[in-house]
Structure 1
Amino acid sequence: MVRFISQRELRNENAKVMDAVAGGETFIVTRNGEPVAEIRPIQSARKTFIRRQDLSRNAGVRVRIDPDQFRRDLDNAVDQRL
């Protein structure tokens, strides 16, 4: 959702606007009622996760992941204690 805010509101509510942008909102900043800028979240070019189907297709082979073994491997690799 795009919200319109004035230059003055941006100046006075800077922290709130930045928190909203970090949460995914987009703002159009106006000066004297005319749009002059857009503030939006940066879209990451890198995906954090990849779906199993995409991984299989990209690898050229069918990948079978055993969730229980995967969990054990993670537990062995990372100390889970606080």
Structure 2
Amino acid sequence: MSQQISQRELRNDSGRIMRALDEGKSFVVASHGRAVGELRPLRRQRFIPAQAAVEMFRHAPALDREAVLADLDAHVDQGIEPRA
């Protein structure tokens, strides 16, 4: 759950807010009582050795490329028309 903070708190308590972000906390920033933005921590990138990834998927079932594409086409609108 994100904690709501004011624009003034963001300006005056930026050090505390940055430490909280580093600890994984999120914030919704409000201006005049109206939410205008969200601050959330970036996802930490984790390095996984290639051999470990290969081992994780060694026994995974093979994918049928045509079946996957057919599923995507059935459920996702991939038209070039702009959205309304």
What is the TM-score with the length of structure 2 in the denominator?
A: 0.56
Distance in 2 (alpha carbons) for counterparts of 1:54 and 1:2: 33
Tell me the equivalent position of 1:42.
42
Aligned partner letter, 1:38: E
Other-structure match for 1:56: 55
CA distance in 1, matches of 2:18, 2:33: 21
Query: One-letter code of the match for 1:47?
Result: R
User: Paired residue for 2:23?
Assistant: 23
Partners of 1:57 and 1:9 in 2: CA distance: 45
RMSD, matched Cα: 2.6
What aligned pairs does 1:63-82 form with structure 2 within 5 A after superposition? none
Q: Distance in 2 between matches of 1:55 and 1:16?
A: 41
**What SS class does the counterpart of residue 47 from structure 1 fall into?**
coil
What is the aligned residue count? 58
Once the two structures are superposed, residues 46-69 of structure 1 have per-residue CA deviations (whole angstroms, 9 ceiling, x without a partner) of 33458xx865233x38xxxxxxxx
What are structure 2's unaligned runs of at least 5 residues? 60-84
Runs of 4+ in 1 over 2 A off after TM superposition: 46-50, 53-58
